[in-house]
Structure 1
Amino acid sequence: MFRHSTRSFIVGLCALAAAAPTSPALAGGPPSPAPHTAARALHTQTLTDLTAAMKGEAYAYAVYNLFAAEADRQGLPTVGRLFRSTAQTELNEHLREAAALAGTVGSNAANLRQAISGETYEHQVMYRSFAEQARTDGDLAAAKLFSEIAADEGRHRDAFRTALTAVTTGGSTVPAPPKADAVPVPAGPPKVKAARTKANLDTALHGEALAHAKYMLFAAHAQQTGNTALARLWEGTAKVELHEHFAGEAVLAGLVRTTKTNLGKAITGEHNEATTLYPAFAKRATAVGDTAAARYFRDTAADEARHAAAFQKALEQLH
């Protein structure tokens, strides 16, 4: 893990964010509600860049855990441990700090309203359109999966609506958490053919990864406020998003290949973040005076460079 010296800073930011009333919407969702008072001081572009960072870090966490499982299957436990430790850094350091800066976590009611908005969009608009497009393009397995996930997201929305009533009025009880039907993700090529389906899968994968990460943050806040039933609902839904939805989409997308290929993909991604993406974010944040965000982007870029170097060393040791 990197940047242990920032831990107290991150925890403090998370505590401030937890006291705030609202936050940006889920990835791929409708227009974001107004950010909370602490985040409102940030420039709009900085908030956009922080959201992009969260989406990328959540995706890296999900993918690296799949890569770790494949390394284990190939009898490469050292590489598996490297992928898992890096995944933890992406989620528990990089994403959490970005979420704190952006004010992603609000009150339990605000978090539920944010999730309801995102789940409604995915249920009514995104996944239905993806399913229709996949059907038109002949990717019937993707069309079926998108339709199934659309229905799941509708159930998630309804559960969150009931939970919101419980939180705000006490007029109902928080629903029991859903159970994830975990999908194994073996190495293999894509199972879709159309470029549009592949692009939609990529959008969906990033959205499911971010939903998982956000819901785990919301669960922690619910637990901190003494609402264990709501925490369980968040955690159960997060597991569905990651182990069922993300995993099912990963199979169709051919996300996991051999460990050598997976390491190469990780190196490319980390190098891009270290040399292009995060430096650009830092430059923009600096230009508008968002110094804390600029520092975060620079520090994260340095971390990603170390990740790229570690993956490169692991790849070289496989030859």
Structure 2
Amino acid sequence: MVRHSIRTLLVGLCTLTAASQAATAVALAAPADQLRATYTADRALNPQTLSDLTTAMKGEAFAYASYNLFGTQADREAHPAVGRLFRTTAQTELNEHLHQAATLAGVVGTDAANLRQAINGETYEHRVMYRGFADQARKDGDLNAAKLFTEIAADEGRHRDAFRTALTVVITGRGTIPAPPKADMVPVPAGPPKVKAASTRANLDTAMHGEALAHAKYMLFAARAQQSGNPALARLFEGTAKVELHEHFAGEAVLAGLVRTTKDNLRKAVTGEHTEATGLYPGFAKQASAVGDTAAARYFRDTAADKAKQAAAFQQALNQLH
């Protein structure tokens, strides 16, 4: 899985060159058809700007995954207009905000580079992150979370091995790309958290953000593989992306109590979008401008404006439910 610690991800991002950023713009051409603007960095970005773009991608990926679940809950409660609002906003988060940040950060490279990035992330989560989360959950008595974390750790090991095999095929031109894994679709009903320890809740939040980002990045890697004429690799990335979102993220969302009533979900969305519009993204824009990363600064400002509009739309929907 790609989503490893911020520090680990930033190390990978900081090693990307301007050439890889140019390749990324090509790699994103197909999924970026829906974008209203193109942002490309004309030089290597400041490390802090890369860090802020990583934070942005994690947040946008998490919003995409969460809003789709919130939309499903709105449908259950017979609020179809709210369901459409959540799903439409989710698509904006993924197909516009996250893709633009990924272009600026130079996330997508060659197929081999993308596989190496995936292998590093899967290895970290298989060996370190999820095993640590499982140990902590057992100590705190959250046994269901410990079981889930242990199962996901094993999945990540299998994903790593499949990506390693695929990398050998890409490099040597010999062998067969592994078949994609099958996702066990996990339904996410509304409900309170099913864990008790604050540490487990925090680890679930970290894991969900990582799973959401992994899904988004693997879909970008799949698009790149299709463009490079490797449909088997594209299928491997797409299948793994589905596991990350519909199985891992969903299972963690159940334990975390991510989905509540539609009114609660709208309140959460209003708060999140408002915070990003007034604090997070303007702060990122100011920092990027100070170090001369003008394209990134423009992206952060434009996204902040979008967030304000999204907050207003969610607030209007909430008002109409009262």
Name the aligned partner's letter for residue 37 of structure 1: A
> Which structure's relative contact order is higher, taking Cα pairs within 8 Å and 6+ residues apart?
2
Per-residue deviation, residues 214-244 of structure 1 (Å, max 9, x unmatched):
0000000001111000000000000000000
Candidates 174, 178, 185, aligned match of 1:175: 178
Q: Would the aligned equivalents of 2:4 and 2:125 in 1 still touch at CA under 8 Å?
A: no
Candidates 157, 160, 166, aligned match of 2:160: 157
- The number of residue pairs the alignment matches comes to 295
Alpha-carbon RMSD across the aligned residues, in angstroms, is 1.0
- The 2-side partners of 1:224 and 1:84 are apart by 27
- The 2-side partners of 1:218 and 1:185 are apart by 27
Name the aligned partner's letter for residue 198 of structure 2: A
Paired residue for 1:125? 128
Per-residue deviation, residues 239-274 of structure 1 (Å, max 9, x unmatched):
000000000000000000000000000000000000
Unmatched segments (≥5 aa) in structure 1: 1-24
Q: Percent identity?
A: 77
1:240-251 mapped onto 2 (5 Å cutoff): 240-251=243-254
Per-residue deviation, residues 169-200 of structure 1 (Å, max 9, x unmatched):
02321000000001000000000000000000
Name the aligned partner's letter for residue 3 of structure 2: L
Name the aligned partner's letter for residue 292 of structure 1: A
Task: Give how far 1:95 is off.
Answer: 0.2
Paired residue for 2:26? none
Structure 2 SS opposite 1:41? coil
Candidates 148, 153, 158, aligned match of 2:151: 148
- The 2-side partners of 1:36 and 1:205 are apart by 29
Q: Would the aligned equivalents of 1:128 and 1:150 in 2 still touch at CA under 8 Å?
A: yes
- The 1-side partners of 2:87 and 2:146 are apart by 31
- The 2-side partners of 1:128 and 1:80 are apart by 36
Per-residue deviation, residues 28-74 of structure 1 (Å, max 9, x unmatched):
26362312334561100000000100000000000000000000000
- The 1-side partners of 2:4 and 2:271 are apart by 23
- The 2-side partners of 1:26 and 1:65 are apart by 20
Q: Would the aligned equivalents of 1:27 and 1:210 in 2 still touch at CA under 8 Å?
A: no
Structure 1 SS opposite 2:184? coil
Q: Would the aligned equivalents of 1:191 and 1:253 in 2 still touch at CA under 8 Å?
A: yes
Paired residue for 1:224? 227
Is 2:292 the partner of 1:311? Answer: no
Is 2:3 the partner of 1:26? Answer: yes
Paired residue for 2:75? 72
- The 2-side partners of 1:305 and 1:228 are apart by 39
Task: Give how far 1:26 is off.
Answer: 3.4
Is 2:56 the partner of 1:53? Answer: yes
Structure 1 SS opposite 2:18? coil
Q: Would the aligned equivalents of 1:174 and 1:229 in 2 still touch at CA under 8 Å?
A: yes
Candidates 268, 274, 278, aligned match of 2:277: 274
1:33-52 mapped onto 2 (5 Å cutoff): 33=12, 34-38=15-19, 41-52=44-55
Name the aligned partner's letter for residue 163 of structure 1: A
Unmatched segments (≥5 aa) in structure 2: 22-42
- The 2-side partners of 1:213 and 1:305 are apart by 23
TM-score normalised by structure 2 residue count? 0.90
Paired residue for 1:192? 195
Candidates 212, 216, 219, aligned match of 1:209: 212
Structure 1 SS opposite 2:187? coil
Q: Would the aligned equivalents of 1:70 and 1:186 in 2 still touch at CA under 8 Å?
A: yes
Superposed structure 1 runs of 4+ greater than 6 Å apart? none
- The 1-side partners of 2:110 and 2:303 are apart by 27
Candidates 259, 262, 281, aligned match of 1:259: 262
